[in-house]
Amino acid sequence: MPPGGGGPMKDCEYSQISTHSSSPMESPHKKKKIAARRKWEVFPGRNKFFCNGRIMMARQTGVFYLTLILILVTSGLFFAFDCPYLAVKITPAIPVVGGILFFFVMGTLLRTSFSDPGVLPRATPDEAADLERQIDIANGTSSGGYRPPPRTKEVIINGQTVKLKYCFTCKIFRPPRASHCSLCDNCVERFDHHCPWVGNCVGKRNYRFFYMFILSLSFLTVFILAFVITHVILRSQQTGFLNALKDSPATVLEAVVCFFSVWSIVGLSGFHTYLISSNQTTNEDIKGSWSNKRGKENYNPYSYGNIFTNCCVALCGPISPSLIDRRGYIQPDTPQPAAPSNGIAAYGATQSQSDMAAATPLLQSEPSLTSDELHLPGKPGLGTPCASLTLGQPTPPSSLPNLTSEAALTDILPLKEEHVGHQFLTPEEAPSPPRMLAGSPLAHSRTMHVLGLASQDSLHEDSVRGLVKLSSV
């Protein structure tokens, strides 16, 4: 064997070893790979996510697309058919102001629709169990006893008693001013309302953008309606009213859309201006939580007592970070070892062979053997390339191809039942079985069994031969 580990075994290669079928060669402790997933992929609420969790919306987004179409179509017709005429006849500042309002409206709309409104994370199983124990202790009941509804807690905010209600879906006591949205199935902090026109809930984190959206949309609608009417008046002075309508049919469509929209939009803007100035939410105003009708001592504990301060806090205060961390990674579970394969029974192998197969993997790093050690007459040596092996059925070594069939085994080694009528062979004439590779898992159980019978027959032949010689003497 030449130095450096080279030799006939260097050219021996195993190609296309199949690992899909179960086999004793497979390690029983193979671990399963679990791909890292983000939290938005398993979010329990009824929301839709886009751009890998960066965009969060409600599932019902049909009205939101209607809002986009109305704004884009109306503004597009205005810039295409009215602004060129108005820029020449009046001033070029009209399309500039209209463009600024349009981009501001679109920016605040998308910011409201695509952001987290202030969703509160649900309790983990451990947190929910701990909270259940606290409720049981507070109610004086055991874990299996009756739990009196409703579950509430009372806190005092600026001298006013506020009840905290328990959410049976999120398994938490909702903080003050929070409420559970039935459409999104989430508890939202400082919940105002669910707005289908923006396709999202309106809460603590996106209320200011919602207010800016409806306020700027009111200005844009009034702006377009005013200059559309101006355009029709200027044209009617030149060609008449009917001819002016025929010359610019898009102007008529814009006027109709803006006329029927401006009332609801302006009214909604005024209502939310009142809410901001008094530091209330739509939910609180509809329920009358701080109405004087409930009592003289009932007042809004969240108001700062000043309209200017309330507006500054709502519109200019800091935005709290999102609490759900929707783009964070989920901690993977501990990998469990895979179940050991049960392919040994299919091959009919014994337990000793399975232990040998597990202890001796099929690798190219086995000790190199020369062709003189394992050479049989008329058989190829180890210098020839090895055949393709798979892990499906155990295959004997290429140097013993005749040991796989019963006919070949009976030709080489006579069986015990065939001793009658045959001459006994001397130990020199009996063919010795070829040596197996030490520790190789490729020997078949039938081959090992027949070789064991052959060694017993040789001993029997020697004893009979000795008896014959003694009797002749």
pLDDT of residue 242: 86
pLDDT of residue 176: 94
**312 catalytic residue (yes or no):** no
What tens digit of pLDDT does each residue of 40-90 get? 999 999 999 999 999 999 999 999 999 999 999 999 999 999 999 999 999
Entry pTM: 0.62
Residues of the chain with pLDDT under 50: 1-24, 26-28, 30, 143, 334-425, 427, 430, 432-454, 468, 473
Asked if 179 contacts 188 with a C-beta cutoff of 8 angstroms, the reply is yes
101 closest CA partner among 225, 263, 247? 225
pLDDT of residue 464: 54
pLDDT of residue 205: 95
Q: Which residue in the list 181, 195, 201, 258 is annotated as catalytic?
A: 195
3-state secondary structure the chain: CCCCCCCHHHHCCCCCCCCCCCCCCCCCCCECCCCCCEHHHHCCCCEEEECCCCEEEECCCHHHHHHHHHHHHHHHHHHHHHHHHHHHHCCCHHHHHHHHHHHHHHHHHHHHHCCCCCECCCCCHHHHHHHHHHHHHHHCCCCCCCCCCCCEEEEEECCEEEEEEEECCCCEECCCCCEEECCCCEEECCCCEEECCCCEEECCCCHHHHHHHHHHHHHHHHHHHHHHHHHHHHHHHHHCHHHHHHHCHHHHHHHHHHHHHHHHHHHHHHHHHHHHHHCCCHHHHHHCCCCHHHCCCCCCCCCCCCHHHHHHHHHHCCCCCCCCCCCCECCCCCCCECCCCCCHHHHCCCHHHHHHHHHCCCCCCCCCCCCCCCCCCCCCCCCCCCCCCCCCCCCCCCCCHHHHCHHHHHHHCCCHHHCCCCCCCCCCCCCCCCCCCCCCCCCCHHHHHHHHHHHHHHHHHHHHHHHHHHHHC
pLDDT of residue 292: 74
- What number of other Cβ atoms are within 10 A of residue 79's Cβ? 15
Rounded to whole angstroms, the Cα distance separating 7 from 381 reads 12
Structure tokens at 252: 């008529």
pLDDT of residue 255: 93
pLDDT of residue 330: 86
Q: What are phi and psi of 161, to 5 degrees?
A: -80, 125
Burial per residue of 430-453, b for 16 or more beta-carbon CB atoms within 10 angstroms, e otherwise = beebbebbeeebbbbeebeebbee
